[in-house]
A = this chain, B = another copy of it.
């Protein structure tokens, strides 16, 4: 654990785009207005499963103000998907030619001079459907007699995943106690403040520019090129600002695709904005999962073996589902050492909206099932939940057999901190309990499923004559503050101030390719690229400092706070701005540029580094109504070296809010394939005034793989909350709730069942 003294890192700073956002000056794709721009609207399927017999657009085309209508026939009909490496996982035509597979699936799009006209024209499109039988739940869809959603896909099984290490059966034999449970985890809507929106502008030179909110401008560049028959380099994606992503904005969406197809047909800019309802019914969602978990432990609480089977509701298409399917299984083992571990996951197509990645990426579901069962086992065996977690938890240098190499790991410190906090609370009143949950998470993925020869992250830095710095990164700021993080790393590395750094991101023509904001990868991966680029540029400057300062012994030189100096004698030096000018003159005025990149070198199959944390929820239940009141959500957290403590707090609070919503409020009920609450009245998210206090403390670790020791923060913390709350419910009232969200109805039902059981005894 080597800590340098930092000038910029670890100082709390506001996000560099904070003022723009709070003053309303930040412009999103929605704010883009181009000369001659048309407005598009999308006609969507009213059926969960139907064959398209014919689409007659002639009346709509003749409607005054309409400029054009497109259907699947106006496209290349390419089945696309983000898992480009595997053709069979590319299964979605955004404007399908033959079948619709969920209610809300696009079938046609209209462009008109106003949004209202486009909307009206939708009613004039005549689609003839042959309605097909539909299926909505995975355990139904895998049945032999279930309708086939994708031709040739037997039993609607989209992807399977098997993870195994150790001799699982032997390890079960060593166990003194075995427990098995069935769990059901719900879906969750990403609920970005910004709904899907794109402005596409196809120019006469055959180049397409798309302004859109995205988690990865580079993915959208590649995906659009693929489905439109253009070269990547002929597609430019610009993300002015992005109003949230949470895993839902790195696949191609219908706003992007339909606006592009319309713009290419009509040679005009076309804007499509999803309504809130469209965003609810026809974007994707967190994957609902059915989990069977069987766990064997020794009397003393030592974990022996676990086997799980998971069936997920994949919805109509693959999306990022294949990754979620793997990650849920991997993180279901986390953060513990298992002698034997076996996971079989089945992603099943259904006639509902596709499920995909969402903050936590499968881990929240896997950990909910794991962490609740652990507490129940502890209760069954009379063991201390802290002690059992400490005993079995990951430690620095541990290797998850064949899966992952653990570098830094502050899990034990996190458990200690939460235990201290919980003990300090003392005895709690009746119907109130503290539940805990440990977890860990990845810091970016190392598998190249997008199949790109580019480095995973890349950065270019240019030093201007006045010392200001242009930093070009392909990472995406979706509100999580990555541009601020990159500016901090750049300022620290170059030895300048925050206001010297200008971060350029979200434009594929100007920013180097980067896989973008998902899997908590940017701080580590792009951060490393930024550090390397800045070191490269700094080296070019320091050559001239050596020459200028006339040092007769080779000293180390460095720059801090714009002061170029001999490290051993910091008072001897020169101004940074002066050095930049000298270096420019010395190099004949040529641009001073530095380059950096990062591609993980394979160490395990998942991620270069893992964060750890423990969370506790202090909750109280009203036994009459089943309503939960949450008093506090406390987190102890290991993200390596924090880069921006203020941004970190924001990320952790945001994660707690989203994870609490998942735990006891947010749900997506369907009836006959129709989402019943596609609006913010009926879909409940926690508002800021409803948030309980959610403090956190950081434990001190240093991650060798990360820039200045940093690793994941802000996504992993969506993992523990549902389990911690469920455990609080368990400790408060002895209820074992195995289904999310933990609604008052479910609590009342559990209370009734418990009473009935007790009455039977």
Contacts and interface: CB of A to CB of B under 8 A. Distances in A.
A725 to B, nearest CB: 39
Contacts of A25: 36, 203-204, 267
A470 B589 contact: no
Given A454-B589, A593-B595, A204 B23 contact: yes
Contacts of A453: 465, 581, 584-585, 589
B460 A589 contact: no
B588 A599 contact: yes
Given A19-B205, A465-B453, A468-B231, A460 B502 contact: no
Interface string A20-31: 100111010001
Contact of A468 (B35, B232, B597): B232
A455 interface: yes
Interface stretch (A118-126, A329-337, A504-512, A554-562): A504-512
A62 interface: no
A327 interface: no
A23 B31 CA distance: 25
Contacts of A584: 453-454
Contacts of A232: 464-466, 468
Contacts of A24: 36
Interface residues of A, number: 58
Given A454-B465, A455-B588, A233 B35 contact: no
B581 A590 contact: no
A234 interface: yes
Interface secondary structure of A, over-half rule: loop
Q: What is the count of identical protomers in the complex?
A: 2
B19 A27 contact: no
A34 interface: yes
B23 A34 contact: no
A58 interface: no
Nearest to A21: B204
Nearest to A532: B590
A378 B17 CA distance: 72
A16 interface: yes
Contacts of A599: 588-589
A424 to B, nearest CB: 42
A65 to B, nearest CB: 20
A685 to B, nearest CB: 26
Given A589-B456, A599-B589, A510 B510 contact: yes
Interface in A442-459: 452-456, 458
B597 A591 contact: yes
A33 interface: yes
A20 B204 contact: yes
A591 B458 contact: yes
A644 to B, nearest CB: 16
Contacts of A19: 203-205
Contacts of A593: 460, 593, 595
Contacts of A464: 232-233
Contact of A595 (B20, B585, B590): B590
A468 B221 CA distance: 13
Interface string A164-186: 00000000000000000000000
B27 A31 contact: no
Contact of A510 (B455, B499, B504): B504
A467 B597 CA distance: 20
Contacts of A585: 453
With most chain B CB atoms within 10 A of its CB, the pick from A36, A207, A453, A509 is A453
Nearest to A601: B588
Given A20-B203, A453-B465, A454-B465, A460 B591 contact: yes
Interface string A479-513: 00000000000000000000110101000011011
Contacts of A204: 19-20, 23, 25
Contacts of A468: 231-234
A28 to B, nearest CB: 10
A500 B590 CA distance: 25
A699 to B, nearest CB: 33
Contact of A591 (B469, B512, B588): B512
A206 B231 CA distance: 38
Contacts of A462: 512
Contacts of A31: 35
Contacts of A33: 33
A16 B207 CA distance: 12
A585 B599 CA distance: 11
Contact of A233 (B458, B502, B512): B502
Interface string A568-600: 000000000000010011001111010101010
A624 B20 CA distance: 70
B590 A458 contact: yes
A466 B204 CA distance: 21
A259 B357 CA distance: 46
Contact of A589 (B34, B35, B455): B455
A576 to B, nearest CB: 13
A205 B20 contact: yes
Contacts of A17: 205
A145 B660 CA distance: 86
Given A465-B454, A509-B470, A593-B595, A27 B35 contact: yes
Interface string A657-676: 00000000000000000000
Contacts of A595: 590-591, 593
Contacts of A456: 589
A27 B34 contact: yes
Contacts of A510: 470, 504, 510
Contacts of A454: 465, 584, 589, 591
A504 B509 contact: yes
B581 A588 contact: no
Nearest to A231: B466
Nearest to A454: B589
A590 B207 CA distance: 25
Interface string A186-210: 0000000000000000011111000
Given A19-B203, A207-B502, A588-B599, 7 more contacts: A17-B205, A19-B204, A233-B467, A233-B470, A454-B591, A460-B593, A591-B595
17 contacts: A19-B203, A20-B203, A23-B204, A24-B36, A27-B34, A233-B466, A233-B500, A453-B589, A455-B588, A458-B589, A470-B510, A502-B509, A588-B599, A589-B597, A590-B595, A591-B595, A591-B597
Question: Which 5 pairs between the two chains have the least Cβ-Cβ distance?
Answer: A233-B468, A455-B589, A19-B204, A590-B597, A453-B584
